[in-house]
Amino acid sequence: MTQDDILVQEQEEIARQKVIEIIANNPRCHKNADDEQRIRKAFELANEAHRGMRRKSGELYIFHPIAVAKIVAEEEGLGATSVISALLHDVVEDTNITLEDLESVFGPKVATIVDGLTKLEGVFDQTASMQAENFRKLLMSMIEDVRVILIKLADRLHNMRTLASMPEHKQYRIAAETLYIYAPMAHRLGLFAIKTELEDLSLKYEHPHEFQAIADKLKGKETDYNNIIESIAQPIRERLNAIGFEYDIKARTKSIYSIWRKMKNKNIPFEEVYDILAMRVVFKSKEGMNEKNQCWDVYSIVTDLFKPKPDRLRDWISSPKANGYEALHTTVMSPSGRWVEIQIRSERMDEIAERGLAAHWKYKEDGKENEIDNWIKSIREMLEKAESNSLDFFDAFKLNLFASEMMIFTPKGESISMPIGSTALDFAFEIHTNLGYHCIGAKVNYRLEPLSYVLKSGDQVEIITSEKQKPKYEWLNYVTTAKAKACIKELFREERKNYIFMGEEILTQELQKRKLTITARILLKLKRTYHVSSKDELYFQIGKGTISLDNIEDALTMKTENKLVKIWKLTFGKSSSSDDDSDDETDEELDENANKKMPKGKNVILSDESETRRYTIASCCNPIPGDDVVAYVDEDNTMILHARRCPVAMKLMSSRGDRIVSAQWESHKVLSYLAQIELAGIDRKCLVSEVTKIISQDENVNMRSVHFESHDGVFTGNIFLYIYNATDLQLLIQKISKVKGVDRVSRKDRSEDNDFMRDMQEYTSF
């Protein structure tokens, strides 16, 4: 026996011991001897099936399904069937084991769950997305057995924990997909701990320097934070002990991702994030006493001892979150002058908060449906009305993963959870599909409002209907929820297909008159001329008559402008980063664009020299040399650069990861790029002239526009600049920050402008 054989045997024995530990440490995994035996049998089968296989890290592959099974058992609290399915979740996809084999040994439940976790095979057409198709399959399986998604989240968590061994371009794609879909999914299912870790790990790989900077600051302040928490915890302990409460006090700091997001959204430094500290009081409910009343008793003790922040009381006991979360939150002032959030929960509430869906099953009363059941029901309805295009369905599902909710009341006083931004028409569809189809308006708080009226939390809504009312396609502009969009689209899907067929026929006849046929080049020119995102949309609008082909001759001969560049110009004016005619493409260039292939390899070096520049800057986020970027190769094989944290880029990495390439700048200071900085501070005479003088004296910067406003002695300013790279911009910011009266100066990231991002999503369909 060779040394390698001995090493493999040792590793397999370690794996075997880990499975035994899972069984021993989780009573739900060994309710009876049969469960324990089935788990051991699942391990042996998986171990044999994966024999000789290794992960990118070099570790034996079997350690991955074991790690997933451990998360399922210990962190999600699931039982033997889930552990068995986790151990076997990759055998059908990666080995010769079939679903029939699994069903014969472990039964139909395990086979169904593993099937749901197995990726689709085969080749899809160019417009399809393997990621989106597989995600739709995953959700279809979740409807049959929700354990599918819980095991998938465990699988994703372990993959994120071991992501360091993957190539850089895959790290970006997997991290973005995790942040865009799987972390919100964990949140929606109430898995707070998993959601938080997924977010932090995603940030670690997408923005490693920023992640580490925040982690270092938290570590540096650890002693101070502990002292602040103890100064609050000690008096609370004394009062709770005195009245006989059984409790546990836990301290935590805000997650790194949450801190980073708040810094970006509010444009503030780490030191100005005031709600970093939090403390949790978890009590054992006294027998025969109301849990809700006991929460308020603890709240009363806390607020007797410390002054609460009036606008920070959150009552999720009277109205639990849609993911089942229950707690009282308040923020109090510590003796040292620091705000600290205090969360008050019973042991039952705490288990639901940490383990989410698994605990939801455990504490479910009399089979009564709650918000999680309603959410899963809404996913089933979405799938029944699903778009044939997997990317459209992917977008619709993302809409359903809303983070912020509000309570809307029916005329009878029943409360319904809706995403913030929902309209009266959304509410009608939420109640019942037919109510939505015949809705003509609504009475909101007894006042008549139109279909498009945006609801506010606490509104009482009565839907007004008419049998004569028929749905209209423009209703899609009035709704925001996935359910409403799916219902409207389903009604018009057949009609749309007919229009698409008619449109293609009309275009074919018009081209035949000119002895032409439909080609990629012609479609590309027509899509750009008529500002549509896909050939189906082009055919649809032609068939419906929205697009007239009377001017097709001009369209076929016109030099068309790249859509993203056009939006850039409409928003900012023409950028000096390209020559005046560089956006116009000749027929020969269009032919080349239609036929050229994806860049070879997954890492592109970007040069800004005019003779080698083969990329377009995305106007949604305006990356400049030095920024962390990724490149998306669109359907026309145009390489579009996005800042890595741009929401559009995150969506693309999540749904079209096969078209994402890693990109790195190689700046030679040939071209300048548009950037925006924001300033704020105390106004004084000559301040503006001092700031503009610093800019004008910098040979690496050109000003495009300056705007300052002053009110009650405080000024705000916005400056648009043409600049070579991020380093030059940072040096300029440091100089301006030294000007007397300037309190804050930072780069403005348009990807954080919600209104602009909404407009961009309308113009750019990927």
Which residues are marked as active site? 93-94
- Rg (the chain; Cα; Å): 29
C-alpha of 504 from chain center: 36
Q: List residues bridging with 633 in a β-sheet.
A: 639
650 and 621 in contact (C-beta within 8 Å)? no
**Which two structure tokens, joined as six digits, stand for 381?**
């309805």
Number of residues written out for the chain: 766
Within a 10 A sphere around the Cβ of 96, how many other Cβ atoms?
Answer: 8
665 and 626 in contact (C-beta within 8 Å)? yes
The helix/strand count (H/E) of the chain reads as: 32, 19
H or E element at residue 418: strand 415-419
Q: Which of 579, 582, 605, 565 is nearest to 670 (CA)?
A: 579
Assign residue 554 a region (left: φ > 0; alpha: ψ between -120 and 50; beta: otherwise).
alpha
Q: How far is CA 374 from CA 41, 324, 426, 480, 631, in A?
A: 36, 11, 16, 18, 39
Query: Contacts by 568-573 with C-beta closer than 8 Å and gap 24+?
Result: 568/617, 568/619, 571/619, 571/756, 572/619, 572/674, 572/704, 572/720, 573/704
**Which two structure tokens, joined as six digits, stand for 117?**
């976790």
Placement of tokens 């035994």 in the chain: 20
Q: How far is CA 508 from CA 72, 499, 502, 544, in A?
A: 56, 14, 10, 15
| Whole-angstrom distance, CA of residue 212 vs CA of residue 303 | 36
133 and 120 in contact (C-beta within 8 Å)? yes
| Whole-angstrom distance, CA of residue 281 vs CA of residue 249 | 5
| Whole-angstrom distance, CA of residue 117 vs CA of residue 149 | 8
C-alpha of 247 from chain center: 36
